[in-house]
Amino acid sequence: MIRSFITWFVSGIIILAWLPLLAISRLFDRDPVLYRTGFLFRKLGKALTWANPAWRLQISGETISDPRRPYVVVSNHQSLADIPLISNLPWEMKWMGKVELLKLPIFGWMMQLSGDIAVDRKNPRSGAQALIKAQRYLAQKCSVIIFPEGTRTLDGRVRPFTDGAFHLAIRAKVPILPLVIEGSKDCIPKNSWQFGKPSDIFLKVLPPIETSSLSIEDVQDLRDRVRAAIIAQIAEWRSVPVEDADGLAASKS
């Protein structure tokens, strides 16, 4: 409890200090995708990871040499902590998240200042509008990140993926860049203000998958290929059969 209180206190100070910096950056940022402002916001994730000694993050995998080459980045989703943890990656990407996040005081304001993309799950048109905005970002050489599970896993297994991210990548003719995160599930337990026990967290950048030769008919195959690669990596880290990391396999059994 004491560790959690201290961590929240330090994190709160960092967040409050970051807001005016972000506002100033936005004021002078002439890039149509607000790349500099967005990248400064992601640096906040790195600072919050530093402020929490219980989060021992290890990053591995592919190195992205050109940060302005656009990708549709997709990742599994285990915890609210995934957002600051993934933000440790050294390039900017606009996050697609539920509209409730962008309405939050301070954090939501910073997401708006950075140009992140809101999706209202109660509005059927909102998803299509969000994908159109994401495609504009990609055309202006800025990556977009989507959690294709739609929400956090409850049992640590990878949930089914929706098609939106893969439609977007194929239509925009940009590569899919899969990420795998493992160990973050209990970093911020649901319905609790206390952080979980100290844990090792693994974040891996898998090889990008080109989509330039694909058509809309290939969406499901691409989706399943990416999901299988993410599940295989999680199973390898856990030293378990692939089926034990697959939420679909578990529901069928």
Mean per-residue pLDDT of the chain? 93
Task: State the pLDDT confidence band at 253, using cuts at 50, 70 and 90.
Answer: low
Sketch the domain layout of the chain as residue ranges.
Answer: 2-252
Give residue-wise pLDDT tens across range 47-88. Answer: 999 999 889 999 999 999 999 999 999 999 999 899 999 999
DSSP one-letter string for 165-188: HHHHHHHHT--EEEEEEES-TTTS
* pLDDT surpasses 70 at 138: yes
User: What is the DSSP secondary structure assignment for residue 102, as one 8-state letter?
Assistant: H
Give residue-wise pLDDT tens across range 89-121. Answer: 999 999 998 899 888 999 999 999 999 999 998
Q: Is the CATH number of domain 2-252 3.40.1130?
A: yes
* pLDDT surpasses 80 at 193: no
Which pLDDT value is given to residue 82? 95
Which pLDDT value is given to residue 200? 95
* pLDDT surpasses 80 at 251: no
Q: Are 126 and 146 in contact (CB under 8 A)?
A: no
Residue 133's contacts (CB-CB under 8 Å, 6 or more residues apart) are: 117
Name the phi and psi angles at 98, rounded to 5: -65, 145
Task: State the pLDDT confidence band at 20, using cuts at 50, 70 and 90.
Answer: very high
User: What is the DSSP secondary structure assignment for residue 105, as one 8-state letter?
Assistant: T
